[in-house]
Amino acid sequence: LVSRMRSFGTTIFAEMSALAVRTGAINLGQGFPDTDGPAAMLDHAVHAIRSGANQYPPGPGVTELRQAVSEHREEHYGLSYDPDGEILVTVGATEAIAAAILALCEPGDEVIAFEPYYDSYAASIALAQARLVGVTLRPDGGRFAFDPGELRAAITPRTRVILVNSPHNPTGTVFTREELTLVAELCREHDLIAVTDEVYEHLTFDGVEHVPLATLPGMRERTVMISSAGKTFSVTGWKTGWICAPAPLVGAVQTVKQFLTFTASAPWQAAVAYGLRHEREWVAALRASLQDKRDRLMEGLAAAGFEVFRPAGTYFVQTDIRPLGFDDGVALTRRLPELAGVVAIPTQVFYEHAERGRPFVRFAFCKKDEVIDEAVTRLKRLS
Ligand code: PMP
Ligand code: GLN
């Protein structure tokens, strides 16, 4: 293994899901729902296979999906992207992120990402031989937020890209228009490209609105907007994502993408197009149900003795374990199956400045109510 990848080992999600299987613990670690996506959308995938959508689709993606993504961006955000040239279908958001970083960063370029960050960012940046510069989100009035001065100070002449994930995994923060306005100003001032990871765009709560960075003045032209079907439709195993950006940026990403995977799997694409067009009500019901599950898990974790941060989006709750007398999330999550029969994710592994994430542990709530309740009952053994 090349030296720049040696520190990555096995992802925390694979490690913790294996731990759950080995110990029989309840898995509130890796974020995947335990119920299926909309039935009619699933039927469309089966139908696609039965009707011969089994050979290579076009490199940029099936036309129907590119059109559906284009209509969806227009309807939800008033953003217009040409399905021919400004939209590229990818193997999940993960490939989109990797291909974007590999296409846009020279060795030595700096990429700013808010930490804690989704783990594939650091690996993609390392593959590109670029450098991740972490700007820390810290608890501030009950939510995780960045310090504007720190963000400003992180920019150097080598900064090329800023990666913005909102709604944010793992903290549950949804960046406000004001926060995004500062990001946009800095992008324009320093001629940066924004890569936005918006996979949780529809999973926001309490009426909080997701604002795509590309909708801010001067940003559409310099933003690679990424999303995927996995979270919106509870089909994380379908690995179907997309990029929306101006043609030169999509062209750059596509040049890389065609040699990573050439094209994404065919059968899911027509089904996701159907979902984007016809399953709005299903998604609204998912959002409402997740908000209830969030409240259920938050209440339970608080009763079990955790300090709990209220997420405005995603399906994760961030906790601080210090009120329970622990101070190291990595050590606690390794022992949690034995102590309480539950698996969670140590947030510390998502930081450049690891010590800043030491007391935080993430729990997923995209699970059946009875699973959440049983996990809470078990976690109460900790105090
Ligand atoms: N970004 C974030 C913030 C995520 O939480 C996930 C889901 N694991 C991804 C990207 C990857 O999405 P996909 O499964 O579509 O590759
Ligand atoms: N996005 C999910 C999470 O954060 C799962 C990611 C993965 O398994 N790679 O838990």
Are 240 and 183 found together in one domain? yes
Give the bridge partners for 319, in sequence order.
308, 361
> Do 112 and 134 lie in a common domain?
yes
Indicate whether residue 319 lines ligand 2 (CB < 6 A): no
- Asked if residue 132 and residue 62 are part of one domain, the reply reads yes
Q: Which of 12, 95, 196, 228 to mutate to test the pocket of ligand 1 (most atoms within 8 A of CB)?
A: 228
- SS3 letters for 358-379? CCEEEEECCCCHHHHHHHHHHH
Please work out whether the CB of residue 236 comes within 6 Å of at least one atom of ligand 1.
Answer: yes
| CA–CA gap between residue 271 and residue 45 (Å, rounded) | 5
* Among candidate residues 15, 104, 44, the one with its CA nearest the CA of residue 240: 44
- What integer best gives the mean pLDDT of the chain? 98
Cα 185 to averaged position of ligand 2 atoms, centre (Å)? 31
Count how many domains the chain has: 2
CATH number of the domain that 87 lies in?
A: 3.40.640.10
Find the CATH number of the domain harbouring 332: 3.90.1150.10
**Cβ-contact 49, 55 below 8 angstroms:** no
Cα(34) to centroid of ligand 2, in Å? 14
Cβ–Cβ < 8 Å for 353, 117: no
Beta carbon of 116 within 6 Å of any ligand 2 atom: no
Q: Is residue 58 located within the same domain as residue 169?
A: yes
Does residue 167 have a cis peptide bond before it, meaning omega lies within 30 degrees of 0? Answer: yes
Ligand 1 pocket test: pick from 118, 198, 233 the residue with the most ligand atoms within 8 Å of its Cβ: 118
Among the bound ligands, the one closest to the CA of 118: 1
* Alpha-carbon span 83 to 93, nearest angstrom: 18
Regarding whether 61 and 33 lie in a shared domain, the answer is: no
Distance between Cα 119 and ligand 2 center (Å):
8
Q: What is the pLDDT of residue 370?
A: 98
Which regions in the chain score pLDDT beneath 50? none
Alpha-carbon gap, residue 223 to 114, rounded angstroms: 17
Structure token pair of residue 164: 């913005």
Enumerate the H helices of the chain as residue ranges: 12-23, 39-50, 63-77, 92-104, 120-127, 148-154, 177-190, 229-232, 247-260, 267-278, 280-303, 329-340, 369-379
76, 10: one domain? no
| Same-domain status, 274 and 291 | no
Amino acid at the residue 162: I
- In eight-state DSSP terms, residue 14 is H
Residue from 34, 197, 236 to probe ligand 2 pocket by mutation (most atoms less than 8 Å from CB): 236
Residue whose structure tokens are 């990871």: 197
ipTM (interface predicted TM): 0.98
Contact 143, 173 (CB under 8 A): yes
Q: What does the DSSP 8-state code read for residue 313? A: B
Largest CA distance in the chain: 58
Q: How many Cβ atoms sit within 10 Å of the Cβ of residue 21?
A: 11
Distance 292 CA to ligand 2 centre (A): 21
Same domain, 288 and 309: yes
CA of 119 to the centre of ligand 1 (A): 9
Q: What is the pLDDT of residues 326-361, one digit of tens each?
A: 999 999 999 999 999 999 999 999 999 999 999 999
AA letter at 353: H
pLDDT at 85: 98
Pocket test for ligand 2, best of 8, 30, 236, 367 (most atoms within 8 A of CB): 30
At 196 the pLDDT is 99
The pLDDT of residue 375 is 98
Would you give the end-to-end CA distance of the chain in angstroms? 43
Clarify whether residues 27 and 51 are in a common domain: no
In this structure, the answer to whether residues 109 and 214 fall within a common structural domain is: yes
Q: Is 30 in the pocket of ligand 2 (CB under 6 A)?
A: yes
Domain endpoint, select from 278, 305, 333: 278
pTM for the full predicted model: 0.98
Task: Establish whether residue 169 lines the binding site of ligand 2, counting it when its CB lies within 6 angstroms of any ligand atom.
Answer: yes
As a whole number of angstroms, the distance between CA 291 and CA 204 comes to 8
Structural domain ending residue among the three candidates 229, 258, 278: 278
Ligand number, closest to the Cα atom of 12: 2
> Is residue 65 within 8 Å of 273, Cβ to Cβ?
yes
Does the Cβ of 230 fall within 6 Å of ligand 1?
A: yes
Ligand closest to the CA atom of residue 31: 2
Same domain, 57 and 158: yes
List the domain range (segments joined by +) for residue 20: 3-37+281-382
Report the separation in Å between the CA atom of 323 and the middle of ligand 1, taken as the mean of its atom positions: 31
- Token readout for 183 is 């990001």
Examine the domain organization and report whether 29 and 43 are in the same domain: no
Provide long-range contacts, Cβ within 8 A and 24+ apart, for 179-184. Answer: 179/145, 179/146, 180/211, 180/213, 180/216, 181/216, 182/148, 182/151, 183/151, 183/213, 184/213, 184/216, 184/217, 184/218, 184/219
Question: What gap in Å lies between CA 286 and CA 56, rounded to an integer?
Answer: 32
Does the beta carbon of 119 lie inside 6 Å of ligand 1?
Answer: no
Mutate which of 97, 199, 366 for ligand 1 pocket (most atoms within 8 A of beta carbon): 199
The last residue of a domain, from among 261, 278, 295? 278
Q: Which residue has the tokens 């937020």?
A: 145
pLDDT at position 315, please?
98
In this structure, the residue with its CA closest to atom 8 of ligand 1 is: 31
